[in-house]
Every structure is written in C-alpha cells, then in structure tokens.
Amino acid sequence: MSNIYVALDFPTWEESSQFIKQNKLQGAPVKVGMELFYREGPDVIKRLKEDNHPVFLDLKLYDIPNTVHNAMKNLAKLEVDIVNVHALGGSEMMKRAKDGLLSGNNSGHTKLIAVTILTSFDHNTLNNELLLPGTVTEQAVHLAKLSKASGADGVVCSVHEASSIKQSCGDDFLTVTPGIRLQESNHDDQKRVATPSYARENHADILVIGRSITKASNPYLAYQEAIKEWNHE
C-alpha cells in the first residue's frame, strides 16, 4: 500500500485533473473528500482509477447502522483502496459498515478505517465543548481499540496518537494520519500537526497531505519533498 496520499481538496474534477496534469502527479495516491465527491459523484473515482491512482475515499460515514451498511454496500462497488467511517458512530455501526463493504461485490482489497479524533480538535474542544473526558490520546486509543474490535483495518488519527495506538492495537493495525505539514508550511486550521519524517518515526503508516502540496508554489517539488522527508533523505 502507498504511503503518501495527496488530498484533492478541489471543488470540481476539472480543477483536480488540471492540478494533476500540471504537476506531473499522474498515478500518485490521492484522497477524495466530501467537497469533490459531492460535486462529481462516483464518476470522479472511476476517472482516477482509469489513470491508476490509488484512492482513499474520505466521506466519514456516520449514521444509524442500517443506513451506513447500505451506503457502504454501494461504495464498495467503486473498489477504492481505503474508505472510512466515524468511530464515534459506535461498534454496531462499524460492524455493519464492514458487512456492507464485504457484501458489495468488493474485490476484497478495500481497507475500512475509522476516524478517531479530528486533527482540528484539541483538549479544550474535547473536554469543554464535547464533554468527553480524558486526553486526546486516551480518547483516540479507546476509539481505535473499539474500531479494531468492530472489524476496522485501521484508524484515522493524528501522528501524535499513532504510536500509542500501535501499542494498543498491534503493528498490523493501520494508522492513517492527516495534519501533515512540510517543514516550511503553515498549520492552517489543524492543531495536531507533524512533518512526514516525524510521522514515520511515530509509527504512522499512511500520510494524507493537502495544503502543504496543493497550495505550494511548486506542488510537484513539494510532493517530492514530502517523499524525501518520509524516507529521511
């Protein structure tokens, strides 16, 4: 499985395609989120797969178990590499999501991962707004263990929780980490961020990088820099 996914956080396929071509990113792993998918629908996934892009479909499903099961059954037919749900949806929802994925004529290679605590959250958000006790790491580890017990292949988490999650869930349990910033990048609206090299040192398996690449003056060079940082070159 590829290690670095570029977040195609663009409103249209035309802009996404232009970005890929201009920056020689044909075949690079990409993340498709709500903004692009809700505009273009499943067709955007088909186009990316035709150009040999590994795809992480980041829709963060969160609803009653039956609804998530049926939605996942439909998404399974797209045969992306990674798809996700919200761990806060609970064990039954995640189990039903996995059932839907497996029963949707899926090739079997799609990984189901669950979002733990969003990287835009910090301790204040968790404790004072959501009234969830403990630290961010404690909550992330708890949700990761729940996700594993419910059939998920891994979780979305901050780099800062990845090592603790590996210790609790095992080395084979995937840690997918957004909030990645290159050395010279701004943090924007994410609070728990890290560089690619720090991510690898802290047991992240897959990085999702958006604005550090897409908003760079030279996105192609930024992508290559991310690979170098990941490889400690």
Annotated catalytic sites, by residue?
Answer: 60
Query: For the chain, give me the number of helices (H) and strands (E)?
Result: 11, 8
CA distances to 50, 97, 158 from 101, in Å: 21, 6, 25
Question: Judging by beta carbons within 10 Å of its beta carbon (0-12, 13-18, 19+), is residue 69 exposed, middle or buried?
Answer: buried
Q: Give the C-alpha separation, 143 to 145, whole Å.
A: 5
Question: Judging by beta carbons within 10 Å of its beta carbon (0-12, 13-18, 19+), is residue 30 exposed, middle or buried?
Answer: buried
Amino acid symbol at 127: N
